[in-house]
Amino acid sequence: MPDISNRGRQMPASPIRKLAPLSDAAKARGIKVYHLNIGQPDLPTPASALNAIRDMDRATLEYSPSDGYRFYRENLVKYYASFDIDVTADEIIVTAGGSEAVLYAFMACLNPGDEIIVPEPAYANYMAFAISAGAVIRTVPSTMETGFALPAIGEFEKLINDRTKGILICNPNNPTGYVYTREEMEKIRDLVEKYDLYLFSDEVYREFIYNGTPYFSACHLKGIEEHVVLIDSVSKRYSECGIRIGCLITKNRALHDTVMKFCQARLSPPLIGQIAANASLDAGEQYMNETFLEYKNRRDFLIERLNAIPGVYSPKPEGAFYTLARLPVEDADAFCTWCLSDFSYDRQTVFMAPASGFYVTPGLGRDEVRIAYVLNNEEMDRALTVLEKALQAYPHTKK
């Protein structure tokens, strides 16, 4: 049989999805599985989006332009203006989710062997996309003890060498919930300018900042406008992960035109998704407020409840809708697997994402899990009862 590629071998299995077959098997045994593993909101998609899909009056579902419909990009310009982000429709490329935006950003910017610096823990799929492009992720560790604050900027600088091409941040952060301060962002700015780097900034959770900190975008940084590559997605904002619509924004014309060549090769982003995403911009203030308050409330509930379980600790995330929790186990991978394959309480179990997959440095995060607070508090309460019972029943829990 012909070999598979080296990059295919190196690709990590998603820590969020790799245990899905065990979850399916548990469900097949009649077990109710609480999905804490995946950022799949249970909140409703805006009615404006659902109506736009229903009312779509097209006889042929045709290709859209490779960079997405202009009407949608022009509406996005207004959306970004409301965050004081100044972009034009020609600087926006609509992509199949934020995922495609990250992949093409890496493909267009990074040569095999090029390095990017990423604070860890980080969204696991960045690693997968870096491997796809043959690039290398170097990490500066942030720790639970400091609430996952950005490491001292000197830690970034230590890693910079001839192969360093960029810095990647996710702000508000998945999986830690950390929100970068303006001061931290400006230190990153200085590095980007000093070493002539790209700054990839994934800001898909900008609506979900719970600590009153103002949202400070990479696009607000002065003097590095052409270095910034903004990654965005409507998935979480409007609870419409399935429509696969995101975008990549750059003021760097050469980069824009290069990304467009990748986009032309894949022809176009999803048509119906663009119609839904465009209509979602009319979701309204009430929808956005209710969504915000719901997640804030869930966060408060989850963190208090988690920290009340003996041996469990989670800092309070400031944004997004994830938290990293430390469990009283040696190996959270084994524990998460066991929960799905060997445990149930009252015919229920929990599906959590082992945190090890969010770290690059071997050994880090081994006793941590990522929990997405995408269940309502009633369901979350039951899920946490199940987690508590699981920790009591697990033979390897540290007492």
Residues 153-212 that bind its own copies (CB under 8 A): 165-166, 196-198
Q: Cβ closer to its own copies: 64 or 314?
A: 64
Measured distance CA(19)–CA(344) in Å, rounded:
16
Do residues 133 and 110 touch, judged by C-beta distance below 8 A? yes
Of 219, 274, 245, 250, nearest to 64 by C-alpha is: 274
Measured distance CA(231)–CA(15) in Å, rounded:
21
Q: Cβ closer to its own copies: 275 or 306?
A: 275
Contact with its own copies (CB under 8 A) among 31, 32, 38, 79 = 38
Binding flag, residue 240, its own copies (CB under 8 A): yes
Residues 327-346 that bind its own copies (CB under 8 A): none
Number of chain residues interacting with its own copies (CB under 8 A): 87
Contact with its own copies (CB under 8 A) among 27, 31, 32, 44 = 44
Residues 79-138 that bind its own copies (CB under 8 A): 96-97, 99-100, 103, 107-112, 114, 125, 128-129, 132-134
Binding flag, residue 1, its own copies (CB under 8 A): yes
Measured distance CA(63)–CA(41) in Å, rounded:
29
CA distances from residue 374 to 62, 200, 297, 303 in whole angstroms, order as listed? 34, 26, 11, 13
**What is the x/- site pattern for its own copies, positions 277-316, by CB under 8 A?**
----------------------------------------
Contact with its own copies (CB under 8 A) among 22, 33, 45, 168 = 45
Contact with its own copies (CB under 8 A) among 62, 145, 285, 378 = 62
Contact with its own copies (CB under 8 A) among 27, 31, 32, 43 = 43
Place of tokens 């904002």: 237
Amino acid at 83: F
Contact with its own copies (CB under 8 A) among 68, 273, 315, 317 = 273
Contact with its own copies (CB under 8 A) among 34, 36, 52, 66 = 66
Of 175, 185, 247, 246, nearest to 213 by C-alpha is: 185
Q: Give the DSSP letter string of 137-150.
A: EEEEE--GGGTTPP
Binding flag, residue 147, its own copies (CB under 8 A): no
Contact with its own copies (CB under 8 A) among 6, 51, 289, 392 = 6
CA distances from residue 223 to 88, 192, 194, 243 in whole angstroms, order as listed? 18, 10, 11, 35
What 3-state DSSP class applies to 354?
A: strand
Q: Is the link from the previous residue into 328 a cis peptide, with omega within 30 of 0? A: no
The piece of 267-275, 302-310, 359-367, 390-398 that touches its own copies (CB under 8 A) is: 267-275
Q: Cβ closer to its own copies: 227 or 326?
A: 227
